[in-house]
Amino acid sequence: MTQPEQLRNRTKQFALRVVRLFQALPKTDEGRVIGRQLLRSGTSVGANYRAVCRARSKKEFISKVSIVVEEADETVFWFELLVEAGVVSKLKLASLLPEANELLAIFAASLRTARSGRRASGNGSMAR
């Protein structure tokens, strides 16, 4: 399986885990409001990564991967807010928050590499 295929699968699985978390959130105002924001950003990571894979130019790649970085960072923010506001326990996010941070790091590194003009190591660029 190529790196882009692995990331497509990984971001899709991440989105499914976000959906499951959303479904399990308490039905309070805080849970619903923050949960909807999390649902949008968390599922957007995978959807927007698919767009990265279809980029037709370096400029388009940079633009689209920038969106993925923003959405991944926003997702980390909503996870942190859920815990700090006492909506969910830190334990409930024990594997989701690290995965969000890992995805953020992967896409941020890819963005830096693309902007610098260097080629990513491994199987060519991240999305090809």
120 pLDDT exceeds 70?
A: no
The per-residue pLDDT for range 60-113, each reduced to its tens digit, is: 999 999 999 999 999 999 999 999 999 999 999 999 999 999 999 999 999 999
In a 3-state reduction of DSSP, which class is residue 120?
coil
Tell me the CATH class for 3-116: mainly alpha
Contact, 111 vs 66, CB < 8 A? yes
Tokens found for residue 8: 């497509």
Exposed / middle / buried, residue 54 (Cβ in 10 Å: 0-12, 13-18, 19+): exposed
Digit-coded pLDDT (tens) for 16-36: 999 999 999 999 999 999 999
Please check whether residue 62 is in contact with residue 115, taking contact to mean a CB–CB distance below 8 angstroms. yes
- The whole-model pTM stands at 0.89
pLDDT, position 117: 81
